[in-house]
Amino acid sequence: MCSVDILILANGPGEITTWVRPVVQALRQELNLNPERDRAKARISVVLSPCPHSTGQEAAIMKSYPEVDRVQTAEHFFSFLLSGKTADNWDWYDRGIVIFLGGDQFYALILGRRLGYQTLVYAEWEARWYRWLDHFAVMKPEVMAKVPAKYHYKFTVVGDLIADINQSSQTKNLPLKPVIGLLPGSKPAKLAQGIPLCLAIAEKIQAQRPDVTFIIPVAPTLSLTTLAQYSDHQLNPIINQLGGVGGYLSSEQIVTTGGTTIKLITQFPAYDELIQCQLCLTTVGANTAELGSLAIPMIVLIPTQQLDAMRAWDGLPGILANLPGIGSSFAKLINWLVIKQKRLFAWPNIWAKAEIVPELIGRLQPNQIAEMVLDYLDHPEKLQQIRDQLIAVRGDKGASQKIARITIQKLHINSENL
Residue scoring higher pLDDT (313 or 352) = 352
Tell me: do 39 and 128 sit in the same domain: yes
Quote the CA–CA distance of 181 and 183 in Å, as a whole number.
6
Whether the pTM exceeds 0.75: the reply is no
Residues in a beta bridge with 44: 6
pLDDT, residue 26, reads 92
Q: What is the DSSP secondary structure assignment for residue 291, as one 8-state letter? A: H
List the CATH number of the domain containing 17. 3.40.50.2000
Tell me: do 81 and 148 sit in the same domain: yes
pLDDT of 169 above 50: no
Residue 418 lies in a domain: no
Query: For 366-372, what is the mean pLDDT?
Result: 96
**Structurally, how many domains does the chain consist of?**
2
Query: For 64-76, what is the mean pLDDT?
Result: 93
pLDDT, residue 325, reads 58
Quote the CA–CA distance of 379 and 347 in Å, as a whole number.
24
Tell me: do 203 and 308 sit in the same domain: yes
pLDDT of 177 above 80: yes
| Average pLDDT, rounded, for the chain | 86
> Residue 97 in contact with residue 410, Cβ under 8 Å?
yes
Pairing mode of beta strands 279-282, 179-183? parallel
> Residue 415 in contact with residue 37, Cβ under 8 Å?
no
Tell me: do 262 and 120 sit in the same domain: no
Show the domain range for 108: 4-161+396-411
Tell me: do 310 and 334 sit in the same domain: yes
Q: How confident is the model at residue 379 (pLDDT cuts 50, 70, 90)?
A: very high
Quote the CA–CA distance of 401 and 29 in Å, as a whole number.
9
pLDDT of 1 above 80: no
pLDDT in tens, 81-130: 999 899 999 999 999 999 999 999 999 999 999 999 999 999 988 999 99
Tell me: do 320 and 383 sit in the same domain: yes
Tell me: do 114 and 20 sit in the same domain: yes
CB-based contacts of 276, cutoff 8 Å, min separation 6: 172, 174, 175, 179
Complete DSSP assignment for 141-210:
HHHHHTS-GGGGGGEEE---TTHHHHHHHHHSPPPSS-EEEEE--SSHHHHHHHHHHHHHHHHHHHHH-T
Residue 416 lies in a domain: no
Tell me: do 58 and 203 sit in the same domain: no
Tell me: do 388 and 400 sit in the same domain: no
pLDDT, residue 234, reads 93
Quote the CA–CA distance of 252 and 261 in Å, as a whole number.
10
pLDDT, residue 339, reads 61
Tell me: do 124 and 273 sit in the same domain: no
